[in-house]
């Protein structure tokens, strides 16, 4: 359906429109629904409110965190987050920088890439991580008139490596 | 649809079945289709055959790589991979360790988490990366009777951090 969107938009005369620009024109209600979930996620994080965070997940959510742990199912994803908030993330500020893309999937699901700014924290093995940024892939599935998180995959941005990005600027 | 699967499976008497076990019982044809794409991906990587790799993508594929670069659309994802194979990945072996999960999404799409073993390579800024493992989230969408890659998000596994995984063993 995404290619169809691009065609429709192209037919309006915006022939040079890139995928990124087309995504930016995804209907407001879809982007709005993604923004709603993302704002709730940030609010839950910043309040260290794990009940509110868990309420955003589907029952079979999977999560891959920035060091490559893979948690399967709401019970595991919730438990892991509770442990890590207790020992690592409580009080660490999370701020939305940008919803970089919102791409519809068949059946009403959406994949979004969201860029976060994260405050400094100390890992369980004692390593101090300075303030950093993450690019988080979220798969969101419809549940009534809202979206729930069916999958998260979070990549910490290596700021030095960004200078070697072959696609410049990052937006294609 | 996943919860429905779990219910169906539960009704067979396997009441203690976990999400992970349910996923392992995803119908063979779906897992088989994922495995087919993953095997083609590995073959394309190991042959440094960028045409074969690009043939696996949808037109509006997005990709987030292990250092957090975000490429949008097939043209950008393909171009970036060509550059990085030329200067970094050509000849670096990629081996599938495991398709860790296959989770159906509405509309016939699938999200899979795949664990790879990657040979040593040298980054564009001259950093030597020893052999490593990645956990790659792939969103696959139906195109006729096959699946195409609509999104990839790749996280390098921090092996030391895995010892601090609150979910033990990793499989819930």
The ipTM value here is 0.83
Q: How far apart are CA B64 and CA B77, in angstroms?
A: 9
Mean pLDDT along residues A64-81? 98
Domain locations along chain A: 27-164
Does the pLDDT value for residue B12 go beyond 50?
no
DSSP structural state of residue A17: -
Cβ atoms of residues B50 and B82 within 8 Å: yes
C-alpha triplet B72, B116, A124: angle, nearest 5° = 90
Give all strands (DSSP E) within chain B, no chain letters. Answer: 57-64, 70-72, 94-104, 110-118, 121-122, 128-129, 132-143, 146-156
Confidence label for A169 from pLDDT (cuts 50, 70 and 90): low
Contact B15/A at CB under 8 A? no
Mean pLDDT along residues B52-74? 98
> And the tokens for B172?
């819930």
CA distances from B130 to A161, B97, B116, B117, B137 (A): 17, 17, 14, 11, 22
> And the tokens for A154?
């979070």
Closest by CA to B119, choosing from B89, B161, B83, is: B89
pLDDT at site B169: 60
> And the tokens for A84?
């890590």
Q: Which residues of A touch B157 (CB under 8 A)?
A: 67-68
> And the tokens for B44?
């394309």
Strand-strand pairing, B110-118 and B121-122 = unpaired
Task: Collapse the DSSP code of A65 into the 3-class scheme (helix H, G, I; strand E, B; otherwise coil) and give the result.
Answer: coil
For tokens 């988080």, name the residue.
Answer: A136
Least confident of A8-12, B43-47, B106-110, B141-145: A8-12
| Mutation for testing the A interface, residue in B73, B108, B121 having most A CBs under 10 Å | B73
* pLDDT tens per residue, range B112-160: 999 999 999 999 889 999 999 999 999 999 999 899 999 999 999 999 9
pLDDT at site B168: 77
Closest by CA to A30, choosing from A88, A111, A94, A117, is: A111
CB contact under 8 A, B164 and A2: no
Does the pLDDT value for residue B7 go beyond 80?
no
Does the pLDDT value for residue A14 go beyond 70?
no
Q: Which residues of A touch B68 (CB under 8 A)?
A: 133-135, 155-158, 161-162
Q: Which residues of A touch B109 (CB under 8 A)?
A: 105-107, 109
- Please indicate whether residue A87 or residue A1 has the higher confidence score (pLDDT): A87
CATH number of A27-164: 3.10.450.50
pLDDT at site A140: 98
* pLDDT tens per residue, range A78-108: 999 999 999 999 999 999 999 999 999 999 9
Q: How far apart are CA B94 and CA B97, in angstroms?
A: 9
Length of chain A: 172
Does the pLDDT value for residue A134 go beyond 70?
yes
> And the tokens for A137?
């892939």
């Amino acid at each position: 359906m995404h290619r169809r969107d691009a065609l429709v938009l192209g037919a309006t005369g915006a022939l040079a429109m890139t995928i990124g620009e087309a995504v930016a024109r995804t209907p407001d209600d879809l982007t709005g629904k993604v923004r709603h979930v993302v704002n709730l996620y940030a609010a839950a994080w910043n309040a260290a409110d794990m009940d509110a965070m868990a309420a955003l997940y589907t029952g079979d959510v999977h999560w891959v965190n920035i060091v490559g742990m893979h948690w399967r199912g709401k019970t595991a994803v919730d438990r892991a987050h509770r442990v890590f908030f207790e020992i690592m993330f409580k009080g660490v500020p999370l701020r939305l920088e940008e919803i970089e893309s919102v791409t519809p999937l068949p059946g009403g699901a959406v994949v979004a890439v969201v860029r976060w700014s994260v405050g400094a924290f100390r890992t369980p093995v004692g390593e101090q991580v300075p303030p950093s940024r993450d690019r988080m892939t979220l798969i969101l599935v419809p549940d009534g008139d809202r979206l729930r998180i069916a999958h998260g995959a979070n990549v910490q941005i290596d700021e030095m490596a960004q200078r070697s990005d072959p696609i410049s600027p990052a937006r294609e």
